[in-house]
Structure 1
Amino acid sequence: MFAGFNWQQLISAFIVLFAVIDIIGSIPIIINLKEKGKSVNALKATLISFALLIGFFYAGDMMLKLFHVDIESFAIAGAFVIFLMSLEMILDVEIFKNQGPIKEATLVPLVFPLLAGAGAFTTLLSLRAEYAEINILIALLLNMIWVYFVVSMTGRVERFFGKGGIYIIRKFFGIILLAISVRLFTANITQLIEALQQK
């Protein structure tokens, strides 16, 4: 088949990316954005996210070094954004007001930081150190197909669960997002402090 192709690596990479991207957990956010009158384009979100992730997969280290930003600092910044989004969901407040001329939510917050965020970027760089390139790329492609399917079906999901069900799911995944932001922050702040101490 392909050079370096390995089913075990492919499945492992798919599961890791599936957990990090967590499009199921983003369903309440997408529905909430639509209720606010902000359009979400499933195909556009998927293609842009895929392009960003592929670009970062190949040029991530170089891009961060260009701006003198280490991966730990980048991940901590992403953790803060995810933290604020989780507060929106848990406390029913609006932090990302999106008052610019473009009333579309496809790019922010759907593409970044939900789909192609610091967590996904750092995960891709970590996987690249462990697995063959072809396995990670196929795993990422399969995840993007799943993302497109879920984003385009959010309306049906809302009808299935109803307003009350979506409200409960929103609160639950708000706490999950909060936990992810805390884990992302704590995992990288210790590495950042250690790196600064060594300088």
Structure 2
Amino acid sequence: MLNSFALTFVALFVALDILGTLPLYIGMTHHLEPRVRNRVLNTSLLVALVVAIIFLFIGEAIFRAIGITVYDFKIGGGLVLLLISLADLVGQHEARERASGSSGIVPLAVPLITGPGVLTTLILQVRAAGLITTVSALLVNFLFAWVVLRHSGWIVRMIGKDGATVFSKIAALLLTAIAVAMIRSGIFEAIQAAGL
């Protein structure tokens, strides 16, 4: 049981990649007041967790019912990330303000935190380790994610305003690369699944 939990935890830890998300989170939220940044963090993590848990129970059924696959989800999620990152790179004000309102859950909650990789991993781990083990590992991973992202403020204080701006542009470039990788992966996996 413990070994099964450890394997599931590691699989979800890799899929969530919260350490990789940290620079993106800082880039999107460094201009916010600490109180607002914490609200965005809490809302984003809560939404991401709820999406993940709902998907555990009904995700596959929903996908089948509307005729889409995880590959479609990867491509669509990648396109959303690509549009947001490009808007941020060219300095559109809307992109910089995106995290300050209710839309802060996009792209933080979905698809950055709970994206196609996490959803696919959840499906596989439920089949391999069972529902209780998978949900437990997911909750521990989200607790770790909250601790890491909650303490990102001191990094912003260390690098200063100019450093945070540079960090934001680097994060937007990384986000663009992640988006392209998601789209490419979704296309290739769809082609493989079709047997072409």
Same fold, TM-score > 0.5, yes or no: yes
Alignment partners' CA distance in 1, 2:153 and 2:108: 16
Native 8 Å contact 1:71 1:122 kept in 2: yes
Native 8 Å contact 2:87 2:95 kept in 1: no
In the alignment, residue 122 of structure 1 is paired with which amino acid? T
Alignment partners' CA distance in 1, 2:140 and 2:45: 11
Q: Kindly report the root-mean-square deviation, in angstroms, between the aligned alpha carbons of the 2 structures.
A: 3.3
Question: Is 2:183 the partner of 1:189?
Answer: no
| TM-score, scaled to structure 2 | 0.75
Native 8 Å contact 2:27 2:167 kept in 1: no
> How far apart are 1:151 and its partner, in Å?
2.5
Aligned to 2:48: 49
Alignment partners' CA distance in 1, 2:140 and 2:106: 23
- Alignment partner for residue 121 of structure 1, among 107, 119, 122? 119
Structure 1 residues 14-23 or 34-43, which shifts more? 34-43
Question: Is 2:5 the partner of 1:7?
Answer: no
| TM-score, scaled to structure 1 | 0.74
Aligned to 1:68: 67
Change (3 A) 1:99 1:87: closer
> How far apart are 1:65 and its partner, in Å?
1.5
Question: Is 2:33 the partner of 1:32?
Answer: no
Aligned to 2:12: 17
Alignment partners' CA distance in 2, 1:140 and 1:72: 22
Structure 2, unmatched stretches of 5+, are: none
- Work out the percentage of aligned pairs sharing the same amino acid: 26
Instruction: Show CA shifts across 1:94-149 (max 9, x none).
Output: 4963889x834532222122212222212212322332222211110011101221
In the alignment, residue 69 of structure 1 is paired with which amino acid? I
Native 8 Å contact 1:119 1:184 kept in 2: no
Aligned to 2:142: 144
Alignment partners' CA distance in 1, 2:50 and 2:185: 27
Alignment partners' CA distance in 2, 1:46 and 1:94: 25
Native 8 Å contact 1:73 1:188 kept in 2: yes
Instruction: Show CA shifts across 1:36-67 (max 9, x none).
Output: 54834233322222111011011110111122
Question: Which structure is higher in helix share?
Answer: 2
Structure 1 residues 119-128 or 77-86, which shifts more? 77-86
Change (3 A) 1:108 1:186: closer
Native 8 Å contact 2:74 2:185 kept in 1: no
Change (3 A) 1:30 1:195: closer
> How far apart are 1:182 and its partner, in Å?
4.3
Native 8 Å contact 1:23 1:115 kept in 2: yes
Structure 1, unmatched stretches of 5+, are: 1-5
Change (3 A) 1:22 1:82: farther
